[in-house]
Amino acid sequence: MLSDALSLAQAFAEAQADPASTLEKALTRALGASAVFISTTAERARREARAASERWAAGQPLSPLDGVPIAWKDLFDMVGTPTTAGAEVRRECAPAQHDAALVNILSRAGLVNLGKTNLSELAYSGLGLNPHFGTPTLPSGGQPLRVPGGSSSGSAIAVAAGIVPLAMGTDTAGSIRVPAAFNGLVGYRASRQRYAMDGVFPLARSLDTLGPLAHSVRDVVALDQLLTGTRASLPLPLSGLRLRVDTAVLLDTRVEPAVRDNLMAALERLRAAGVLIEQRPVAALQACLDLIEKHGWLGSAEAFALHQPLLDSLDAERLDPRVRKRLETARQLPASTQLMLSQAAEQLREQLRDELNGALLVTPTVGHVAPLLEPLLEDDALFARTNLATLRLTMPGSLLDMPGVALPSGTDNQGLPTSLLLAAPSGEDTHLLRAALAIEPLVRSA
């Protein structure tokens, strides 16, 4: 199993490992992993790894992550490869002529591009099932198969299975945070304006954003610094850090006991270290949960508008029926409802900022651990209910454009990961990441 990316880079610096041999091991694991990668870019990766090996040997790395292998969700354009979006109808689309903006930035920083990872078709599910390219599952050691979380399923499993230490995903309603939670990883949903979306296949343009899945917050921060050109961020002091916990969310019966208990235990460790814990409802969060439950998801209208030509064509029969049905539900969504949701979201963003007043919001990332795969394959109604339940606590953060970091908080009695979500008002990413750096050791120390 790979350690985190910065540890790997340190091994390069100390000549205990080199990028070229590290890549070959990663390629072998990638090719042997079922349904994790849609395509690998071996020729490019080998060229990049050889160059990184030469730079480390000369003591001239391009960045702190030079030579580290990275995988990309197959929504990101990579020159010479088709961007399938996990859809059968896009399997034979023309190869990209240019790298996506983020691929270009990290390539110039020396990272080694291993390939494109699997996802829910068109990125439109929080569970990660894909009938066309297969469904990657949690590394289980022979236990019953469980869903990987979606839509960034392959990216999460590529990191969890030790193929790469870093993988990029996208997040429209929870597609980074959910698979991070199910796999015991760190997942960062950036505010929408933080990273360039050029060369990324969309789902809902007003909600789509990007971010990495990793083994540690420090890896996320290192990657963020390369993408934003910012300086190193130090952890915030624990003493005086304020966290707001919505008691109504925690007491909801839809939150499994292990998820709640692990979160509360983490909060007690943080309180003992000097963190100020405020436990009371957050009106803006509750209003957002109610808004989505009563009126639906704003992104559904944008997703339908994007894919209506496909839905109205004969190729619609080639879509995953579960994805097609979910897309079709927005066909009759009134424009007045879309406008109301958009205006309400804008008002709630400001209300949330005022309510938190400098505090960071803590909730479970998902109310439950990774569900079993087989029942969801057999029962479409169960799939739909489980998908909504899985995304329930991440959708408000998306609607309110809250940057969020999913942190592993422990396991349940079956050894399945639970997760805590630390979130901030829109645009406060740097403060959030510094806080996540500070609290991560105590959240993990179950």
CA–CA distance, 443 with 263 (Å, rounded to integer): 8
Cα–Cα distance list, 340 to 207, 249, 292, 295, 336 (Å): 16, 24, 11, 9, 6
Q: Which residue has the tokens 């350690």?
A: 3
CB of 398 closer than 8 Å to CB of 303: no
Annotated active-site residue in 63, 151, 216, 419: 151
Q: In degrees rounded to 5, what are phi and psi of residue 12?
A: -60, -45
Rounded Cα distance between 96 and 76, Å, is: 9
Quote the CA–CA distance of 233 and 225 in Å, as a whole number: 8
In one-letter notation, the amino acid at residue 49 is A
> Catalytic site residue 175?
yes
The conformation of residue 316, written as its DSSP 8-state character, comes to G
Respond yes or no: is residue 25 known to be catalytic.
no
Helix (H, G, I), strand (E, B) or coil at 419: strand
Catalytic residue among 63, 73, 233, 409: 73
Both structure tokens of 414: 């079956």
Phi, psi of 398 (to 5 degrees): -70, -45
**From CA 423, how far away is CA 205, in angstroms rounded?**
21
The Cα 99–Cα 108 span in angstroms is: 12
Q: Which amino acid is at 137?
A: T
Q: How many distinct helices (H) and strands (E) make up the chain?
A: 17, 11
Is residue 151 part of the annotated active site? The answer reads yes
Identify the bridge partners of residue 407 per DSSP, sorted by sequence position: 420
Distances (CA, A) of 131 to 22, 86, 187, 425: 31, 9, 25, 37
Helix (H) or strand (E) holding 279: strand 276-279
Q: Which of 63, 125, 153, 175 is catalytic?
A: 175
Say which residues have a Cβ less than 8 Å from residue 188's Cβ, sequence separation at least 6: 176, 211, 212, 214, 220, 224, 403, 404, 405, 406, 433
How many alpha carbons lie under 13 Å from residue 267 in its C-beta half-sphere? 26
H or E element at residue 405: strand 404-411
Residue 263 contacts residue 270 (beta carbons within 8 Å): no
Residues assigned a catalytic role: 73, 151, 175
